[in-house]
């Protein structure tokens, strides 16, 4: 019975911890609004600082292109360029 109570407590604690998403504040700059409006519509903005050590301008451009072509993100070409430029300038190595 004790093991069961510990298991239930662990599940409840894990669920509460997962439910509290960290608020991500993007660096200010031209294009931040496009990133917030387009990217955050589908996923957390936490992916941006998490991937920033690995992605340069070419990498961010590839990520934005992947989101549009592979995942169907409804981002027009002009916004895609602004987003990729913002990410490369503010979150590149």
Summarised one tens digit per residue, pLDDT across range 26-71 is: 999 999 999 999 999 999 999 999 988 999 999 999 999 999 999 9
37 and 45 in contact (C-beta within 8 Å)?
no
Residue-level pLDDT at 34: 97
Pick the CATH number of 23-91 from 1.10.760.10, 1.20.20.10, 1.10.730.10, 1.10.150.240: 1.10.760.10
Domain ranges of the chain: 23-91
Residue-level pLDDT at 51: 87
Q: Predicted confidence band at 7 (pLDDT cuts at 50, 70, 90)?
A: low
Q: Is the pLDDT of residue 14 over 60?
A: no
Residue-level pLDDT at 29: 95
Q: Is the pLDDT of residue 16 over 50?
A: no
Give me the phi and psi of 50, to 5 degrees please: -65, -35
Burial of 74 (0-12, 13-18, 19+ CB in 10 A): exposed
């Amino acid at each position: 019975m004790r093991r069961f109570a510990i298991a239930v407590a662990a599940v409840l604690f894990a669920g509460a911890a997962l439910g509290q998403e960290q608020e991500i504040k993007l660096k200010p700059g031209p294009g931040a609004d496009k990133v917030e409006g387009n990217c955050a519509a589908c996923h957390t903005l936490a992916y941006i600082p998490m991937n920033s050590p690995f992605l340069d301008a070419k990498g961010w451009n590839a990520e934005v292109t992947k989101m549009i072509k592979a995942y169907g993100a409804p981002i027009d070409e002009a916004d895609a360029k602004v987003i990729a430029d913002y990410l490369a300038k503010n979150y590149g190595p």
